[in-house]
Amino acid sequence: MGLFDWLKRTPAPRGDGMPPEESELLAQGVALEDEALLIEWRWLVAPRFQPVMCTALGDLFLQGPGGVLFWLNVANGALLSAARDGEQFDELAKDADHFARWFRPQALRAAQKRCRPLAPGECYSYATAPRLGGRADELLPRMAIEHFAIHGRAFRPR
């Protein structure tokens, strides 16, 4: 069973009581293979880490050597271990706490209510990252490549 197979049967917080669809949780049309996506994060993310999934709320999941998965938490400017492989990721994502932390369905619903729908290549982006003094509810649609550049520069150590 894949990650989004179980989602269809697992309730998650949503205004209309329905679980989120894959197309809502993930940013669509983001060029994950584009090196420019991570250019401003190379101080934290080595080139051997390849993006495999961009969430609608502007985080990335990356695959490292040996298939290990990492979570680039853009709100906090942190690269965190997510799972030893895709199978473990699928299992962990079934856990409500992991799912809520990684995909933040309540924040996604709030952004969808306040903002226009995402266009291909966009994700919801913080006006200012919460760790840098912004508010978690100040999200706006932005091209993913611009989102990662802005926040990568903001968190880069001086």
What pLDDT digit, counting tens, does each position of 30-60 carry? 999 999 999 999 999 999 999 999 999 999 9
Q: Tens digit of pLDDT for each residue in 90-134?
A: 999 999 999 999 999 989 999 999 999 999 999 999 988 777 888
The HSE-up count of residue 34 (CA atoms within 13 Å, CB side) is 14
Instruction: Domain of residue 86: give its range.
Output: 3-155
Top pLDDT among 86 and 17 is at 86
* Count of structural domains, the chain: 1
pLDDT digits (tens, 9 = 90+) for 120-130: 999 999 988 77
Whether the predicted pLDDT of 4 surpasses 50: no
